[in-house]
Structure 1
Amino acid sequence: MSVVQKLLQVNWAVVLLICALAGIGAGMLYSAANANMDPWAERHLVRFGVLLVLMIGVALTDIRVWFRVAYPAYFVTLLLLIAVEFKGTVGMGAQRWIDLGVIQLQPSEVMKVAMILALARYFHSLSLEDVRRPLYLLFPLFLVLAPAGLVLKQPDLGTATMLTLVGGAIFLLAGVRWWKFLLVGAGVGAALPVAWNFLHQYQKNRVLTFLDPSSDPLGSGYHITQSKIALGSGGVFGRGFLEGTQSHLNFLPEKQTDFIFTMLAEEFGMVGGLILLGLYLLVFIYGFAVALTCNNHFGRLLALGLTVNLFFYVFINIAMVMGLLPVVGIPLPLVSYGGTAMLTAMTTFGLIICVRVHKDISIPRRGLQGEVI
């Protein structure tokens, strides 16, 4: 298939949808800086412009290339996570970034995509009967738990939880039986009292604040209290662009990253929030549609896993700012400020489009012993 043919297979309406999400992000970052493009909105748009080209490049790359590089990409990212332990940059009380010279990279964000690639390749090589044998699940368990453990040590409970949730979702989509999830869930539930003792104090405070936000409104409960005030003050139609009092009077913390949806809801109200959610819903529908129409197992699992990952990003971030989940550092894709987060999101979109462009390409399903399934 020529490059021109591949370009014709790209759903450009979805590309415009992605541009719309990034545009909303730029608008909110402009507002967050009190009607100033610096320091967030301008960088956000420049990054998006560069990464839009990367996204198209990822989409046009033969899906068999992504199949071949799935394991190398995973283990390189795993090495970067290990490197963070020794040479990582500390920011906001956590050691999560590594300086690569041209960029401050957060390997835990990249790992979300690399892990999905590796799991999709592994389960592509298994028959349904093999998937249901516990012995064949040991390697993919390692693929999930190794990075989750390293990320938890940084500490980053939110990202570690996301890695585990997305990994579990791919296990389910690959055909692992329900009773195994129930067994793991029971084990996790039994281990929670022990795990509680290993949490950092600020993590315990976040959980306790989630259960009772009014217990410390000026301390650990400050973030969520101010977020709820901003959400409520927006009403149905909002206070108007650049008119949010909670954000512009600096009551709302991290308004350019984790709490950017709160600022949007304050300025544009429930209507603005629902419009943004509607745009994300269209992205999810597209991702699932791509998976259902793909003719190779690797592509199906890849598109499903990436779409589920995007869903968790959006769901956890919005549920967090509404007080439905404990506060964790999960950005809103293409709206929150952040270089690595945008890199991850644009690579995700590129891979989903790649599955659509190459949906009719056959990738031989050879089992672990080399036999054709």
Structure 2
Amino acid sequence: MTKNDVGWEKLFERYKILEEVNKNGCFKIEASQINQERESRLMAKFDHIVNLPKIFRDNNLSILPISRSQYIIGHFHTHLPVKYDLEIPTIYWQFPREIETIDYTNLYSESSALLCAFNLGIIDDLVESKTRFTVSGRMSTGTFDFSIENCINNQSYSINVINSQCEIDGGFETDDRLILIEAKNYRVEDFLIRQIYYPYRLWSNKITKKVVPVLMTYSNDIFSFFIYEFADISDYNSITLVEQKNYEIASEEIRTSEVNSLLTQMKIIPEPAKIPFPQADKFDRLIDLISLLLENDLTPNEITENYQFDKRQTDYYTSAGKYLGLIEKQGKIFTLTDEAKYILRQPHQWKNYLMRKYK
């Protein structure tokens, strides 16, 4: 069990949370109460369904902030699945030679990927209009009401938000719209709607322009944008996908002589003696994991709590990285090997070619 699992088990027992939810439909809990076990910021941040503590998943529960100091727990439908349309062609984008301060082979943080997309004109192409980067950072949501679907009986529940906190990765303004982007530096299977809904409600109340919520993922050098809209501004679950677009920074062609040179250098090595054969089944997820480790060394608990991995998957994919010689463990910390760092800093096509020998 993770630290969040243990902490919430204690809180559920102490405050009879499940009984209160079943009786009244929800339970409001103070941040100070959560802090008795662990910092509320860490205990209530669940970007993906897999991050929810076991007691939440077992009872179809979720949690949302409703002020700076209070949260609400209930059978809420808070997350939205994300499906990548494999039929959508990728748009190849040339990197401007005049830009020297951005290394497009080293975009392993959400902010660097988003800033690169803006400066290259990808955001302008996405919305087919000239944009200005005008909004980012943490801010107060203001006051608003909304309805949310009960995931058990499909009934609607009303929630009031009073100056909660939201964070915007990037807001891009055109002549008639404000594009609010939530960025992830890995491929996702679902995401927390709140991360785009709260900023959407904030700015819809402050400006006259149309507010357009967007999810951006940057994985394996591909920028994937999901443009959404809310059919009913007061309905959290009225979100629908309008369009998906994919972009990739065009890289140089790989010469045959380079491929032949690499082939002659390849050596077959024996199976690692102390590392079991990996059970990880998605190579793209392994690439995402080593990309995250290029930005920061991480503990198993940090991988499980902050990214789209449950504890079992964290074990599988870190073991796969160790088996392939890409990840090593130093004490309780996972870090990248020098070879993995070298591969990740190559242009997309060359990096993919180098990674093929591990498949």
Work out whether the TM-score is over 0.5: no
TM-score of the aligned structures, taking structure 1 as reference length = 0.25
Q: Which has the larger radius of gyration?
A: 2
Please identify which structure carries the higher helix content.
Answer: 1
TM-score of the aligned structures, taking structure 2 as reference length = 0.26
Please identify which structure carries the higher strand content.
Answer: 2
Q: Which has the higher contact order (CA 8 A, sep 6+)?
A: 1
